[in-house]
Amino acid sequence: MMPNTSLNADCLCGGVRIEISGRIGPLVYCHCSRCRKASGTAFGANADVRRKYWKIVAGEDLIREFESSPGVFRGFCSRCGSPIYSRRPDAPDVYRLRLGLLNDDPGRRSLAHFWVGSKATWFEITDALPQFAAGPAEHEEELAAIFKGR
């Protein structure tokens, strides 16, 4: 499956619309408590997008940000509440897109489940994807092996 390099995304009310003109990063499922609370579900489905590929075509004035932890800002639509992205000032060239906004198939599938050490007790992971107790930074060697196999 070839990754889609032209994607459209919008929030629930359609007020915020985004065009992505390049390949998005690996798709991951994050089970940390912040992603669960921000999404209102068992996990967040996210992928990094380089800023040069990211264009807000409508609704930039609707986006508000919340600093959910030191140095992590979560953008959301102020009209409908849809989560849009997260960003870090220490990585200014990357947005982490909330994949539920996509209207197109990105041509990629999830790489792994992260932060399963804090996943919702009521949710059972039933797929065969690798599961990591913490985040990507804590599992660099294991992830390198996964990337090598893809």
Chain centroid, CA 75 distance in Å: 12
- Cα 141 from Cα 121, distance rounded (Å): 28
Give the pLDDT confidence score for residue 140 in this predicted structure.
57
Which of the residues in the chain have pLDDT under 70?
A: 1-4, 137-150
Give the pLDDT confidence score for residue 73 in this predicted structure.
96
128 contacts 32 by C-beta, under 8 angstroms: no
137: Cβ contacts below 8 Å, ≥ 6 apart? none
- Cα 59 from Cα 15, distance rounded (Å): 5
Give the pLDDT confidence score for residue 135 in this predicted structure.
79
Extract the tokens encoding 67.
């600093």
29 contacts 45 by C-beta, under 8 angstroms: yes
81 contacts 89 by C-beta, under 8 angstroms: no
Give the pLDDT confidence score for residue 149 in this predicted structure.
53
Give the pLDDT confidence score for residue 19 in this predicted structure.
97
79 contacts 15 by C-beta, under 8 angstroms: yes
pTM of the model: 0.83
108: Cβ contacts below 8 Å, ≥ 6 apart? 1, 3, 24, 26, 27, 47
